[in-house]
Amino acid sequence: MGRYGALGPDDNCVLKGGKLLGITELFGLLGGLALFLHGMQMMGAGLEAAAGNRMKQILERLTANRILGVAVGAGITAAIQSSSATTVMVVGFVNSGLMSLQQAVWIIMGANIGTTVTSQLIALDVGAMAPLFAFVGVALVTFIKKVKVNYAGQIVAGLGILFIGMEMMSSAMMPLRESEAFVSLMTQFSNPILGILAGMIFTAVIQSSSASVGILQTLAASGLIGLPSAVYVLFGQNIGTCITAVLASIGTSRNAKRTTVIHLLFNVLGTVIFTVVCMATPLTSLVESLTPSNPEAQIANMHTIFNIATTLLLLPFGTHLARLACRILPERESDADETLCLKYIKPIDPAREHQIGTSAIVVNGVWRELGRMWEMARRNVDESFQAVLESSSKRLEEVEQTEEYVDYLNKEISKYISRIMGHEGNQRDSVQISAFFKICGNLERISDHAVNICEYTKMLESKGITFSALAMAEVSEMKQVSLEAMDLISNLGGESSGADRIEEISSLEQLIDDKTRLYRQNQIQRMQDGVCSDEACVLYSELLTDFERIGDHVLNIGEALQNVRRAGR
């Protein structure tokens, strides 16, 4: 029984201040939220597939100054309807070295402006066209086979589904207007601290400021909350959206973590400023008077004013925000430790595998790790030939330690590539992933051959073997040619990588083959002349084999880079 009396046959309901919110409405609310979030995910996935592998070039060209950087951040966020998604992308870009911390400041500021587009579209009742958007998008995906058109269809369908979800949530919340308890709860948010906390916690839970602001608008449209209370919830929502970036920064570089600090500082400072302004001035009443009969527009307008004004206020201090983030998170001695680790790639969160920019982050991160492998392999080649020229094994321990790191990187990068095989968004990404395996394996083999060469010095020392002056001159030439070959495949993944030097690489590999044959003939002649001992000849022959193999592996890497270049045209 209780204070509400017997429920009767309809037991599946939620009690709110003496009124009943039916199970149908509750399911409608949850289903609407699900469609809203799924619509945003679809739009982001479509944009990622269409432009993910070009994101690096776009950002490099358009973040040259603060105004363009803000515009890029606003544009990307407006397209994918989520400042959280943009900020997570920026964290990933900073972590993988695609973007500097200073560039990230402008993108984050722009993202806070771009996120207001969703609330403005809701206020304009674009949702009336939602079924048409969904139909057009699905038709483009289903009936047209062109890949680019499919991506566009995914974006349009996502937009339609997003607004269908908003309509469902709005309809489901209508009965709450009659709930005294719920209306009373909403009025408590006129307390700035309570309002900010409520908005912050709710947005942190659903990890989408666009969704939480949209829900706030549906509450306002249903008459459940007025702008004087909603403004503080709105300000808290801007802080709560930072939680997504904070979670994304776990396990990333120091600079990537600083990016999340900048995002948090921006929204906290904006909230403090606007809370004081709303309490001390008639700003809330002024915004209400602009659209007195449209509560959704009132929230949308305040949201837009908050983010644009905060951006304009903090824009001149962007560099100071970056410095403050560096003070909050200073460099640590452990950051420079050379323990075995992956510096530029980390496991992909399955929930964000279609996040915009994921493709560019993954690809760039692997290229940079391969660049580390190249540096280590080249160093080993240099050190090993030098060890033979010095007839000393003192460099062997260092070479073997470097080889251990190369083996570790080969294993970890290969495992990572295997995990992302199903995430490639387009043909170019697929070709790059295939190239990763080939490059990774060949770099590891180059380092192996370098270790072989260095290990010959133990036999030179223990058995007192010496090479003739002519043989030593040939070893010096081998070193020079091998390093020249390695330099042709430097800057892996860059604009001037070995992809555009395949003819030089092929010619140099042929030169290595020719020199190997010549040196073997010279060796035979020295044996006949009695200049070279049997043990020295065997050792020298093994060294020539390693020299020749280095050339073969460099050519393999060059061919893989060429395939990547062709796929990108």
Count Cβ atoms below 10 Å from residue 503 Cβ, excluding itself.
Answer: 10
Are 286 and 362 found together in one domain?
no
3-state SS assignment for residue 6: coil
Question: Can you give the pLDDT at residue 7?
Answer: 39
170 domain residue, yes or no: no
Cβ contacts of 550 within 8 Å, gap of 6 or more: 381, 446, 449, 450, 482, 485, 512
Are 322 and 362 found together in one domain?
no
Are 83 and 199 found together in one domain?
yes
What's the domain count of the chain? Answer: 2
Q: Could you tell me if 210 and 173 are in contact, meaning their C-beta atoms sit under 8 angstroms apart?
A: no
Are 399 and 498 found together in one domain?
yes
Q: State how far the alpha carbon of 8 is from the alpha carbons of 1, 4, 5, 11, in Å.
A: 10, 11, 9, 7
Any bridge partners for residue 20, and if so which?
A: 15
Question: Can you give the pLDDT at residue 312?
Answer: 92
159 domain residue, yes or no: no
Q: State how far the alpha carbon of 150 is from the alpha carbons of 146, 154, 158, in Å.
A: 6, 6, 12
Specify the range with the lowest mean pLDDT, choosing from 121-135, 145-159, 417-431. Answer: 417-431
62 domain residue, yes or no: yes
392 domain residue, yes or no: yes
Domain boundary among 327, 348, 380: 327
Q: Count the alpha carbons within 13 Å of 374 in the hemisphere toward its beta carbon.
A: 24
296 domain residue, yes or no: yes
Q: Alpha-carbon distance 286 to 281, whole Å? A: 9
Q: Alpha-carbon distance 95 to 489, whole Å? A: 24
3-state SS assignment for residue 263: helix
Are 498 and 397 found together in one domain?
yes
Q: Which residue has the tokens 């824009």?
A: 315
Are 310 and 362 found together in one domain?
no
Specify the range with the lowest mean pLDDT, choosing from 53-62, 307-316, 472-481. Answer: 53-62
15 domain residue, yes or no: no
Q: Which residue has the tokens 């035979």?
A: 524
| Angle, CA 408 vertex, CA 427 and CA 539 arms, to 5° | 110
Are 441 and 483 found together in one domain?
yes
Alpha helices in 52-191 (DSSP H): 55-62, 66-80, 83-96, 101-114, 116-123, 130-143, 147-173, 180-187
Any bridge partners for residue 21, and if so which?
A: 14
3-state SS assignment for residue 98: coil
3-state SS assignment for residue 519: helix
Question: Can you give the pLDDT at residue 19?
Answer: 46
144 domain residue, yes or no: no
Domain boundary among 327, 348, 365: 327
Identify which of 306, 312, 308 has the alpha carbon closest to the alpha carbon of residue 234.
306
Q: Alpha-carbon distance 253 to 335, whole Å? A: 8
Domain boundary among 282, 308, 327: 327
Residue-range definition of the domain harbouring residue 101: 53-120+176-327
Rounded to two decimals, what is the model's pTM? Answer: 0.59
Q: Which residue has the tokens 């009690």?
A: 15
pLDDT at 377 over 80: yes
Tell me, what amino acid is at 305? I
Q: Alpha-carbon distance 507 to 77, whole Å? A: 48
* Model pLDDT for residues 404-444, shown as the tens digit of each residue: 999 999 998 988 887 766 555 556 667 777 888 899 999 99
| Percent of the chain predicted with pLDDT > 90 | 28
List the CATH number of the domain containing 550.
Answer: 1.20.58.220
> What confidence tier does 464 reach under pLDDT thresholds 50, 70, 90?
confident
Are 250 and 380 found together in one domain?
no
Are 211 and 251 found together in one domain?
yes
Q: Could you tell me if 63 and 107 are in contact, meaning their C-beta atoms sit under 8 angstroms apart?
A: yes
Cβ contacts of 251 within 8 Å, gap of 6 or more: 346
Q: Could you tell me if 363 and 429 are in contact, meaning their C-beta atoms sit under 8 angstroms apart?
A: yes
Specify the range with the lowest mean pLDDT, choosing from 105-119, 387-401, 514-528. Answer: 105-119
Kind plus residue range of the DSSP H or E element containing 303: helix 295-314
> What confidence tier does 337 reach under pLDDT thresholds 50, 70, 90?
very low
Are 79 and 180 found together in one domain?
yes
Q: Alpha-carbon distance 409 to 345, whole Å? A: 11
DSSP assignment of 523-540, as one string? HHHHHHHT-S-HHHHHHH
Identify which of 523, 383, 500 has the alpha carbon closest to the alpha carbon of residue 453.
383
3 domain residue, yes or no: no
3-state SS assignment for residue 148: helix
DSSP assignment of 421-479, as one string? GGG--SHHHHHHHHHHHHHHHHHHHHHHHHHHHHHHHHHHHHTT----HHHHHHHHHHH
* Mean per-residue pLDDT, 321-326: 90
Are 314 and 409 found together in one domain?
no
Identify which of 456, 447, 338, 339 has the alpha carbon closest to the alpha carbon of residue 399.
447
> What confidence tier does 483 reach under pLDDT thresholds 50, 70, 90?
very high
Are 225 and 316 found together in one domain?
yes
